[in-house]
Structure 1
Amino acid sequence: MKRLPLAILMAVFFGWLLWSVSVRQAALFAVGIGLGAVLAGKRFGFTTGWRMLVEDKDPSGVFGQLLLLALAAILAMPLLGHFPELTAALGPPSVSLIVGAFVFGLCMQIADGCGSGTLYKAGLGIPMNAAILPVFAIGSFLGSLHLGWWLDLGRAQPVGLVSAWGWPTALLATLAGLAAVAAGVSAYCKRANHRAGREYKPLFVRKWVVGAVLLAVLATLNLVIAGQPWGVVYGFGLWAAKVANATGAVDVGSSWFWSQPGNALRLQETVLLDVTSITNIGILAGALWISAGTPASAKPLTGTQWAVALVAGLVLGYSSRLAFGCNVGAMFSGISTGSIHGWIWVPLAFAGTIFGLRIRRHFGF
């Protein structure tokens, strides 16, 4: 589909949301379109940035992500401090977080995408990611059914730095932590490239910087409009849960996760009232508009590669629920709104990524 008719369809859907659902949901759909257009247009991939660092000793992708985290924290933390009706992306430090983050980091390299990456690449028409999207949703739903059991293995109360320390101290601590990571990444790449006799790659590249600035602004708009930080994974699990509930395949309401009042309500409401789902739909639409009817090029996969990718996608969804989010919900929104669980998630997921890259190379992706 060409951009003009697609834009007309998106405008009609926006107008219908505005008239029939709510102003908030229409606004979140528009924010989602912006997120999808930036992610796809700038190829701002969290998975790709980590792979560039490990395989090519190229820090620009990770520095783009660190800039994004810093800008988002600068925008979000004062808002959280001044407007108590806004909520942070809090998750409990737990066994499920430790296991889920590591497994997620491993599988996202095999599946070539985290939650947002899977969405925007599916919108670009990449066959593997389009096929992974539904199995990701199934995996996220299965993870929600087992989450209560995982939490019983051990958990602590969520810790929010803004509420614990106040937003100025929380922001300074967050920026100091990000600066420390940046210094470590820079030193590692400089040393590794020097030893290999390669030219040191720049820390900042235009597409990553522009993407970081735009995503930080859009994520802040999402926080203000939705009242909660940008997330992706919850919408996937909700879609699969609604299908399971409607078909009677699973007694969804009897599970610990879906019996929680807020989740039970969303299970009964139309998916268009869920803030995460409507943003996800917007991301798909924004990426589709970028592709303009011309799917992104992708290497054909063998049967074995397809099987490995789909299994990775299923486990990716499952582990994302255990870890209380993906690179967006756990890392980006967690750290930028002051949640300790975001800082726990990152090193575990990065450790998983190192193993995932080895598996990815083994199967020739």
Structure 2
Amino acid sequence: MLATRLTHWRSHYGLARQIMLITSAGLLIVALSWLVLQGAWVSAGLLLVGMGLGATLNYFVFGFSSSWRKSILEGNTLGARAQVIMLAAALMLFSPLLWLGQSDDGSFQGLVRPAGWSVILGAFLFGIGMQLASNCSSGTLNRAGQLQALPMVSLLMMFVGGVLAAYSFTYWDAWPALLPWSFTLDWGLAGLLVSLGLLALIYWALTRYEQQRTQQLTQLLSLESKWGATPYAPSSSSGLALSRAHQLLLAGLLLALLSTFILLLAGQPWSVASVFALWPFKLAEWIELHTGWMLLDWSFWDIAGHYQDRVARPLWLDHVSMTTLGVIFGALAVTLLQPKAITPLPDGQHAIGYYALGGLLMGLGAMLSYGCNIGALFSGIASGSLHGWLWLIAAVIGNMVALAWLNRSK
């Protein structure tokens, strides 16, 4: 049995990939062991949960920007409806924990942020960046884990955008905004039902939109048969589409479950955007420490009190950083285990420019709007935050504007 498995291993993976797999597994074991020895059990757990998120995104090819693009350009809302189911599942999983944290010692806190002009502008810019770079924040991390060159350009520029937003914090933070408010936390069970009702309305609207746009409906849930969706026959080519529907649904539910584990471990839901400013700051701090050269005046970190503790901690004790690294490594694990073609940088400059500009807008927009498609949309709506709903509307408009411009420029 062991000899058969080793033979299969050698025939399926080339020598270079075998070395990468063994090296990556060894580094992971060393990293987890070191964290445990340091007593950083939460960091080790978040790294593993982050890897689960990255593996899910990669293995099931679950993407926000691609689903929105298909909905807008083709009328295919299958991916968008799977995201609605994901948000509903996360809402129901998060709410009891958030209520417990509210009534107990505050150990569980939702991502509830002010809803104002900075959220509108930031989400709008992020939506444009999503389509220019063909990825969102989680998608860019996933593609970076797949060793794709263009998304790495986007990832680098997201840090540039995050720095610009952090440096101008005192300007945009003063824009008019409503105080942080949550359906779930402020209205309790009634607020949860309102949020679920809004998601149900969006789901129904997406099915109607697809039916009117394409004269058919790709079935995601069995209840959609009552709305005119035709079940796929497993023996036909459409059986692949049914399999794809199941993949999207399973991926959405897994993301909701794994993000609940993050809430349990870290006390706050899954987020990404803050690392776009935190990691460059840490790099600048390291440069100043070792060279004496101050890269920038980081007045942002003196003002934003809710980041001060994170600035003082090492990255391996920062919950958002560990989860983000986990997403990249989880996607990399799937890439190594299921080899995919690695796309090099194209010869032309247009694609590189689009991805660079898209990354810049996403990094800037994520900071302005207190979150990206993960922290603001996913975790924001799952926390019942009003700013999450505002983010969704502005980001969809940004996607539509970007796609309209891209189609005209072809």
- Asked if structure 1 preserves the Cα contact closer than 8 Å seen for 2:121 and 2:369, the reply is yes
- Does the aligned pair in 1 maintain the 2:48–2:326 contact within 8 Å? yes
Structure 1 residues 273 and 53: alpha-carbon distance in aligned structure 2, compared to 1, 3 A threshold: same
Larger deviation, residues 107-116 vs 5-14? 5-14
SS at match of 1:228: coil
Whichever residue aligns with residue 268 of structure 1, its letter is A
Give, in angstroms, the shift of residue 297 of structure 1: 4.5
Distance of 2:344 and 2:134 partners within structure 1: 12
Check if 1:225 corresponds to 2:265: yes
Structure 1: 5+ residue stretches without partners: none
The verdict on how the C-alpha distance between 1:148 and 1:295 changes in structure 2, with shifts beyond 3 A counting, is: farther
- Map 1:324-335 onto structure 2 (within 5 A): 324-335=370-381
Q: Is the 8 A contact 1:125 1:296 kept in 2?
A: no
SS class of match (2:61): coil
Per the alignment, do residues 299 and 62 of structure 1 end up closer, same or farther by CA in structure 2, a change over 3 Å counting? farther
Note if contact 1:137-1:237 (Cα within 8 Å) is conserved in structure 2: yes
CA drift of 1:258 comes to: 4.5
Is residue 126–residue 395 contact of structure 2 (8 Å, CA) maintained in 1? yes
Structure 2: distance between partners of 1:361 and 1:277: 36
* 8 Å Cα contact 1:89-1:228 kept in structure 2: yes
Q: Does 1:89 align with 2:111?
A: yes
Relative to structure 2, which stretch is displaced further, 342-351 or 140-149? 140-149
1:130 aligned onto 2:152: yes
Tell me the SS of whatever aligns to 2:274.
Answer: helix
Candidates 319, 327, 345, aligned match of 2:365: 319
Q: Following the alignment from structure 2 to structure 1, what is the Cα–Cα distance between the partners of residues 254 and 73?
A: 27
Deviation at residue 295 of structure 1 after TM alignment: 4.9
1:208 aligns with 2:225: no
2:284 equivalent in structure 1: 244
Q: Which moved more, 1:225-234 or 1:3-12?
A: 3-12
Q: Deviations over 1:231-284 (max 9, x none)?
A: 0111222101222333321121x22x5533341232232111111100011011
Which residue of 143, 158, 177 corresponds with 1:155? 177
Write the distance in 2 (CA, Å) between the matches of 1:110 and 1:93: 25
Name the residue aligned to 2:163. 141
TM-score, normalised with respect to structure 2: 0.83
SS of 2:79's partner is: helix
1:116 to 123, 138, 156: 138
Match of 1:62 in 2: 80
SS at match of 1:86: coil
- Which of 156, 181, 186 is equivalent to 2:202? 181
2:230 match: none
Count of matched residue positions in the alignment of Structure 1 and Structure 2: 357
Q: Is the 8 A contact 1:21 1:272 kept in 2?
A: no
Read off the aligned partner of 2:141 and give its amino acid letter: L
Q: Secondary structure at the match of 1:232?
A: coil
Opposite residue 230 of structure 1, the aligned amino acid is W
Which residue pairs with 1:169 in the alignment?
Answer: 190
Give the counterpart letter for 1:346 in structure 2. Answer: L
The alignment yields a C-alpha RMSD, in angstroms, of 1.7
* Cα displacement (A) at 1:300: 5.3
- Is the contact between residue 108 and residue 312 of structure 1 (CA under 8 Å) also seen in structure 2? yes
Which structure: larger Rg? 2
SS at match of 2:173: helix
Question: Percent same amino acid at aligned positions?
Answer: 31
Note if 1:352 corresponds to 2:398.
yes
Q: Distance in 1 between matches of 2:284 and 2:252?
A: 37
Match of residue 269 from structure 1:
313
Q: Which residue of 2 aligns with 1:76?
A: 94
SS at 1:158's partner residue?
coil
Shift of 1:200: 3.2
**Are 2:28 and 1:10 equivalent residues in the alignment?**
yes
Structure 2 gaps, min length 5: 1-16, 222-244, 288-293
2:61 to 26, 43, 66: 43
User: Which secondary structure does the structure 1 equivalent of 2:43 belong to?
Assistant: helix
Kept in 2: contact 1:24–1:226 (CA 8 A): yes
Residue 374 (structure 2) pairs with residue 343 (structure 1): no
